[in-house]
Structure 1
Amino acid sequence: MCCIAGAPSLSGRERAEKEGIRFKENKGELKIGIINLMPFKEEVEYQFYAVLGRFDISVEVEFLYPENHVFKNTDGSYIKDNYYPLGELNNRNYDAIIMTGAPVELLDFQKVNYWDEIKNLIKSNKLPALYICWGAQAALYVKYGIEKFTLNEKLLGIFRHRTNKNPFVSGEFFAPHSRNTQNSSKDIKNAGLRILAESDEAGVYMASDRDYREFYISGHGEYQRERLKYEYSRDQNLFPKNYFPEDDPKKEPPMKWDGHRKEFYYKWLSHIREKKFSNISDKV
């Protein structure tokens, strides 16, 4: 396992350190900006430190936030001390960005109070990007006019997916989903995008542009083991499918998706690194 660079005072980093992720203070081979739109910042910080810090590629991580939003579950001083505003993204010299999901999927895009910031970022972004859940829906809407539609029932659980000529994930795999909305596979195909993985139950999981520069992921391979257990305990109105052994909430769920996320994120980082250093070689 290699090490990862990140701000020393981030709560998610402290948790990752306790679980064995090694940190360094100098720059990594790659620098990734993560636009964290989720209400519980520490959890998302930990998720990505745990995922990106397990490879032989050293990664420097920074987190960003939309300025036109007041986060209710995180102290404003914590965000201002440890995060960068979205307006500074182009000045941070990132090699790629990740945009997380957000608990606003049942709102029209235009009614999200930081929509203009997100829309402008997606329109102007020229970096390799990983858009996740609502972030993927937002990017598909801005770039291709693809609408999201509301499901009859929230999709919650671990689902099996098949791959389609996917150089980033091999064979069938499991992945978590937690969402109330979805994009149509027909719309995604009509936009000229590659559908790389999908599920009979959960729909399209992963799509990309033709150059594999941008990925649109509807699920949550970054989730830690207990995330869906927390959602079930919190809401008590929907039982997560294929999650608890024998559907018994007292039993610890296996992390069926760990192999998938390890393979995907390693190949994604390797792809970015290869492009970065080939571009440098071309300029020498």
Structure 2
Amino acid sequence: MCCIAGCPSLLGRDRAEKEGIRFIKDKGELKIGVINLMPFKEEVEYQFYAVLGRFDISVEMEFLYPENHIFKNTKGSYIKDNYYPMGELKKRGYDGVIMTGAPVELMEFHNVNYWDEIKSFIKSNQLPVIYICWGAQAALYVKYGIKKISLKEKLFGIYRHRTNKNPFISGEFMAPHSRNTQNSSEDIKRAGLRILAESDEAGVYISSDKVYSDFYISGHGEYQRERLQYEYCRDKQLLPKNYFPEDDPEREPSMNWDSHRKEFYYNWLKYLKEKKLSNIPNNM
């Protein structure tokens, strides 16, 4: 049975529950903190409830926010009632953390109003983390001095990736990307990081440190089926590549990245569970 514990008033959780994901009332086997930097909070909540709530490992999730950020698309009262400030992260007892992307990738890091909080977390954190999109670029910059590179055209669509040998993701798979910047594979290799998955068109997708504690993901395996469709309708610019059947926006897109995200996130949760169990004293 799929099991996630968490705050019942979160709108993203409500949506996931209506789609068949069942929740437990007590604490899960793992506790995950999600630093949600995206403007539409409910959508990201739903994405991670839907992803992490499908496995036989029960997960408790909490969401966090940077205190220096001014929210324009979500009521401040909703954040205060349902989220924890990032300053409390170390007190919450998480087994792992996910940091989302943010729509600030064309800004210089130091111009982002919550940059000091993000930088402080990246520097001081000792928990396993998945950094996503801008979050990954921020972490690579703070930890290794790797700069982001602007693309001539937005990378937008579903792209095929190949994997290098690792215990988290295997074979070839499709995954969504939606970004205007990237990190170079040469810089990532020079920093001594592992490249776990990459694409001829989309570049490095997943990299990690040597012990698989930190993951840097340039794309969005957590996306729901309609996310790129929403972005296309909003911007009316690029047609997302390999997304609509026969490139027809009137047809429902297939979700051909679902098996990839199942494999990666399930293996990440197993890694966290094994790590947690290995730290339990023998007399317990």
Band of TM-score, shorter chain: over 0.9
Shift of 1:170: 1.3
Q: Which residue of 2 aligns with 1:52?
A: 52
Q: Which residue of 1 aligns with 2:125?
A: 125
Q: Which residue of 2 aligns with 1:276?
A: 276
SS at match of 2:168: coil
Residue identity opposite 1:217 in structure 2: I
CA distance in 2, matches of 1:215, 1:74: 28
SS at match of 1:280: coil
Q: Which residue of 2 aligns with 1:190?
A: 190
Shift of 1:2: 2.2
1:275–1:283: structure 2 CA closer, same or farther, 3 Å change rule?
Answer: farther
List aligned pairs for 1:150-189, cutoff 5 A. 150-189=150-189
CA distance in 2, matches of 1:42, 1:6: 14
Q: Any conservation in 1 of the 2:164–2:170 contact (CA below 8 Å)?
A: no
CA distance in 2, matches of 1:225, 1:5: 24
List aligned pairs for 1:213-252, cutoff 5 A. 213-252=213-252
CA distance in 1, matches of 2:283, 2:189: 35
1:11-33 per-residue CA deviation (whole Å, 9 max, x = no partner) reads: 00110011001012210000000
Structure 2, unaligned stretches of length 5 or more?
Answer: none
- Give the TM-score, by structure 2 length: 0.99
Q: Any conservation in 2 of the 1:64–1:83 contact (CA below 8 Å)?
A: yes
CA distance in 2, matches of 1:282, 1:122: 32
SS at match of 1:24: coil
Q: Which residue of 1 aligns with 2:81?
A: 81
1:128-157 per-residue CA deviation (whole Å, 9 max, x = no partner) reads: 000000000000000000000100000000
Across the aligned residues of Structure 1 and Structure 2, the Cα RMSD in angstroms comes to 0.8
Residue identity opposite 2:73 in structure 1: N
CA distance in 1, matches of 2:124, 2:173: 33
Shift of 1:36: 0.1
Residue identity opposite 2:199 in structure 1: S
Identity %: 79
- The reply to whether residue 260 of structure 1 matches residue 260 of structure 2 is yes
1:227–1:278: structure 2 CA closer, same or farther, 3 Å change rule?
Answer: same
CA distance in 2, matches of 1:78, 1:25: 21
Shift of 1:282: 5.7
- The reply to whether residue 15 of structure 1 matches residue 11 of structure 2 is no
Q: Any conservation in 2 of the 1:155–1:202 contact (CA below 8 Å)?
A: yes
- Give the TM-score, by structure 1 length: 0.99
Q: Any conservation in 2 of the 1:207–1:215 contact (CA below 8 Å)?
A: yes
Shift of 1:281: 4.0
1:21-66 per-residue CA deviation (whole Å, 9 max, x = no partner) reads: 1012210000000000000000000000000000000000000000
1:246–1:66: structure 2 CA closer, same or farther, 3 Å change rule?
Answer: same
CA distance in 1, matches of 2:250, 2:119: 42
CA distance in 2, matches of 1:189, 1:129: 19
Q: Which residue of 2 aligns with 1:206?
A: 206
